[in-house]
Structure 1
Amino acid sequence: MMMDRRAYISVVFSILVCLVVCVSAQSTISLVQVSPPTGNSYAPVPVTNTVNQYDIPAGSNLIVACGESETSLRYPTNQFAQFDRFGLGTRVRVSTVSTGDQWTFDSLKYYDTGVIECYNTADSNNASLTSSVYIFVYDPNEPLYVPLNTSGSTGSISVTVKKDEYVPCLPTHSSITFTLSLLGRLVLPNAATLDNTQGFKLLQKPPLLPPVHLQFHLRRHWSHWQCYYTCYYCRLTYLSHHCLISNISLPSPVVFPSDGKHKHLAGEDLQLNCTIYGYTQIRLVDWSYPAQSCDIQPSNSCVGTQDRVTIQGPKILPGGTDVSDILTLTNLQVSDSGSYQCKYQPNTQMVYSDSASVEIRVLPGPFVKVVVTDEESEVEALAGSSVILMAHVEAIPTLTVQWLFNGKSVSGNRFMSNSRSTGTPSDYEVFLTISLLSIEDAGTYTLLAKSSGSISDQQDIQLVVNVPPQIMVSYVYESETVSVMSNPHTTYFQLYKEVELDCTVTEGFPSPQLSWMWQSCDNTKPDCIVDEVAWQTLPTTLSPSTTTFDNSPYFTSSSSSSQSLLINAERSGWYQCLAENGIDSPAMYRIFTVVSALPSSSKGIGFSTQTVQTASQLVVGDDLHMHCHVARFECLASQVAITGSGGVRYTQGQAGVLWAENDNSYILSVTLTGITRNMTGNRYLCGCNSKTSDVMLTVQEFISPFWALQLEPKANMTAGETKTFQCKADGQPLPEVTWYKDDKKILNDSTTVVLGRNSHSLTIYKATLEDSGSYSCVGTARRSPPIYSNFTLTVTGATAKLKDGEIAMIVVLVLVVIVIAVVITICIVRRYCRKKYTVNKLHNISSNHSIPIWS
């Protein structure tokens, strides 16, 4: 009777809970397409007053589209789910349309209840969530979904939850609402809050499970109290519950040396603290340590406890929430090195234990060790900055350090040494700060660390000081060396004069790479603006070459730290010396070479050399471009003018007058068009106030260029021969003559080819077979096509001639042969004579004496 009454009370209690919390809900947002199970006409039902939530029947197929700016989709089921049924590789991309990608999900199940998310990049793990939709997949047989219950049936399951975590009870329909009870008592809203898409979030730390014997008693007598937490839910008149047993995770112990030292010297004492935070129902704390094994088998190298160990026993600390136990080991031995472990057990009703350990090292005597990582062993820094060199040092019991530079102790206000503990006793970080670095600071720095007595250790650190490049630029013109101080620098050269540009590296590490660049200017314009894309790098050819550069520059010397460039002043242009070593910005100097800008005697005021030359050779119908250059230090800009015959005056701002200025000068330009014969003798002044320079016009009738002296069509030379060829062009204006060989312009090279005055003659010194070819003398003049005088040169090999040395050697050899022949002849004659004398003597003896006869 009592049991029936209790069961009746339980049912009534459950119904009251449902009536209190049951509500209904609906919403509005569109999905691309929902295909319900066959025979069931259904559209997704939006959840009222809730953004992006839909009720969809189980068995439906779903198509979802992300927006135009969203390029990836993710379908994470509830955080407690054991698997993601629509994870990577299981989603199917239907198509890519103008509004974004579309994705399909087939045959939805009740456990597919969850959120669908769209991201702004393909990598959703590193992207921003841009939109999402939550779907309830309703199955009448499964109104409540607990993700860990993969069998799909209601019942008791076990899950570990803590404060601020969720108890996973999820409805499969938006109209299903539920509540949570603990052993039959409602916990809302005091102990938990409800999130329809997450479950219940616990606001308080769950209590421990009831003792085992009490759990068994509850299961036997109260069926609806068989679970620790119970999720109640209802839909319409349907009432059910789902049970969850909450396992509470007990804290792990923490063990640490009381003085923080993990390394000790033999003979010192050790004290270890084992603390359990946030839990006091401790039955016992058990210690294990290396000396325990020595108690069993003691030896000279393994000393047992021998009353050296004291264990305090677990005690509740002030505050009443934590428990601590302390182990003390005196007179440490080297054999005491190893792992020290503490292990605790809670009350007798719980089968549970947890442990923690700490490593302790016992050293026989003072110790020091310097450690420098690979990254710290070589340091690069920029000159002028500061750098910090660092090393790690382990020392017991004391530490002293000294920094050395290339073997000598560092000193000076720019060096500062300090050290700090890493938080662990005997471990240090040692620093050396060097400020205002220079290249002289590069080298080997040594940290010498010492402990007690003579124990020491050291490590080296290499410091590389990078220095941005610096260069010095100068030029040699008419035997005078001029240093370039301003950047950019403008200088004036005369036509056909040789100029040597010198660029030298003054500092830089690594060694800078030098290069010269060039770009030309139009001589008819008063100023030249640098075009950054028009630079041409000059080849480092250490001899004249027929390059395509108008000024025909070439290098007279080149090394890693210096380059000298020789140019023939034929045309205005920019030269740039660039030094690069990858450190900071490149060093760069720019020189604007204004060719034919002013005569040498102009002293900063005058018409350009080209203006003067053209004015002396005008012909009827010409246009004269007059460029008046005035140095800044001579006049004010408003005073610069060109004054002509008859009082005509040209100044800045007038129609048809061009004005330009640079760092050094003002340039006023005007063009006289349609030159006539009666303008001969007209005089024009360039300058300001009384500081002027003039030019006089000479106008003649136009005479087409012609050859006053032509070349023979064929010429022959013998190798080693020197010969001069002449051609002379005439006309009005006087033509300019240029020489070509095989269609390439000939340069003036004093060792092989010399061009005569006004280029009317060509001298070839000591001809070689390579000098054979087609030569052209080309005359060019304004308002007329060029004229040509051509010849073909053939160089043949010279007849072999003996050199003086060779002749002398032959004479010597002949004389030696003659001497030898004479000597041999004398010897033969003397031998013959001696032999004849001996024969004659014997003959005489035989004639004067008779030979005796014996009987």
Structure 2
Amino acid sequence: MLRILLSLALMIVTIDGQLVMEPNLNQLTKKVGDEVAIYCTNQGTTGQPEWTGPDGQVIGTINGGGSSHLFVEENTFDRETKLQIVDLEREDEGTYTCRLSGSTGQSIQIFVFEDITFTKQDEEQLQAFEEFESASIKCTVRASPSPSIEWYQGGVRIYPGGRYYIDPNVGLTISNITRDDEATYTCRAVIRSLSESKSMDIFVDVQVPPTWLFEPSDETRAVGSSVEFHCRADGDPPPDYTWKFKNNIINYDGVKYTSRNDGEYFTINNLQKSDDGSYVCEASNAADTISGAGELTVLDPPRGNEQQNETVTEGQTVRLYCTVVQGEDCKLKWFHDGREMVLGQQPTNSRIIIQESIVDTQLTLTITGVQRSDGGGYTCELENEVGISNVTHYVLVEYEPTINTTITRDQVFTWVGNPVNVTCHWEGYPTPKVIWKRGGWRLNSTDAVFYNFGNGSSSAEVTPTELDFGSYVCEASNRIDTNTHTIDLVQAFVPSEPLGVTRGEVTSTTLEILFEVPLDDGNLPITGYRVEYWVQYEETNTMMDFFNETEEIKLINLSPSQTYYFRMAAENDVGFGKWSENATAKTITYRPPRAPTIISPDVSSSPFQYELAWRAPEDNGGSPITRYVIRHALVLDPTVEEIPSYYEEQPVNSEARSHILYDLEKDKYYYIELFAVSGLGDGEPAEKIIKTAQGTLDPTVPPTSLLGVVRNVDTKIVVAVIVAAFILILILVDVCCYLVNDCGLLMCLCVQCCGKHTGTHEVDVELAADYSGFKNGAEIPAWSLDKIGGAVTTNGSDVTEKATEPTESESLMDGRTI
């Protein structure tokens, strides 16, 4: 019996060993929706494999008990049976066994998981919350096995604590959420056992209810005008604006109603009384809606009574009225000559009284005993909240003609053949009629050309002959009276000759002329003089100069050692008069130049320099100036009378008219001497004592160059800087000699004081390199260095040197031996 059982068991094992499963796995993990295909092949000689499900039932083919979801396919030729599961479901999870009839077979366990799905992704990717509330950010996930949820913001994981609370059933809760929390958050679902994860980004919009920045304000406007209301609110998202009137939403038609800036600004055009009322601005966003109102008052613009023009005669009484024809709440005022008039008697004219005839409606202006000075415009001004209206009423005062003698001349001068205007200026109302008379007879168009100007003047243009000089009468008439004024037309002549013409100061090249004015100016002011001059014996070669009446009469650019004849004639508007008697003068011989004229100030604007300016000499002595010479010297006393012998001298070219003296000392006096030099020698000197400024440079005058800055520095400082720089250069050169060639002053000091050789340049470089990375006081690490001619070692604290004299065969880096 035992033998039979052992044989049966051996047979079963042999049968199972003939089954091959692909894939050859003990378990298989798949997700819902996948397809599964598992092959089982009998490599024995007989038998078709079969598949059983988790319930132990044999799985049939599609037509043999299986379903389109779960079935097998049999390949009898190859003795192969395939298990096929289509659209895998969670219920398909379990152990599936492939066997031969009567055997235990081989099994594979299929695990089915549900993939991670964000079931409300569309509605949860954007979530909005009101600022300062407790916000729960939802993330709905479906998966099997159940996943764990992780939260991230900006790539950083969020852990529970503080303002954050994480509930698997609720999501991420942020207490007291603010605008700073507005961001994109990441919800990540993780199935750890399967190493599966999936993420969804959620934008959290923190909404802020609107709050007013500008509420609509009350407005008052005139009928026919426009008004613009403005409201503005802050909120997140930015609020939308709606305008209402009498609880009705206003539709913008582009004509009566317009808006801009997305409704912040609202305009009403062509205002009418019916537009009076309250206009409401509503600002709304997803969080809330607020409203504010502005009151509109529409008024008629002011309008006064028509212009009133009153004509009166001096001494009468006149009344002007300022009346409101249109407009509410008007203020009434009278103005005259640009000044506001007061109620009652006027402070500057007691004859003018203003009374309020009808309260807020009419002001009456009364002038008693009218005088001509009362004539002119009186302006009535009406003003209310929406406008100003002005109407000017005129008072025209009739009075007799008068001649304005302040601007009308009694005499007019001219000469034969020269046209002239004889003008009379008049006043009067009604406008006078003006005629011109001479010798009792009215002039006509053959006697003169007449001009009557609207500005209150009349002219008779006369081109006189010898017979036309005399008195002309201007006669002005109106219905009140007639007045006349006489103007004498006086004949003018050329002036008589100048008197006492003689020479004044004479130099090598100049001649001053002295004279007295003519006895007779010809009835016109003298405008200038003409001088004619010539060299003796050369009367045919005359020269001419002209001078106005204020100029000094001086001839220039004359020749030295020459006798000149000259004469003068005066000039007025008629022309040049008679020549004076001839006078004579002789220029002096050739000589050095006269002194230049120094025109620069006594005090320098700079403490260390001075700009000397001058004019060229009037007399160069008959020879061209070749250069200027400037001498200057420091003096202690500003009263010295001549330049000290220790002066500094600088030549300047002949075209120069200024020169800067540098390297001066501040707050000091300097004696300056300037003279011109010609081919005849040194000229007369011009002298001046100047003082340099105190303190530093004038901050308002920046140096124009680096050289200018250097020159403004004290000389002692410059010398000190140069010496210090020279010493520094010597030290640098000596150090270079010490390091490169083992020579120099520093080399000698080392040998004499320390009794040591310096070693080679190579060692110095290595030492420098070792020390270069450490600051003073830093610990120096232990190191060891062999060098030519000796060894240096250190343990970090003690340094010893074993010096050996190199032989002549041991050459240094520079090829020399010690």
Report the TM-score when normalising by structure 1.
0.24
User: Which structure would you say has the larger Rg?
Assistant: 2
Report the TM-score when normalising by structure 2.
0.25
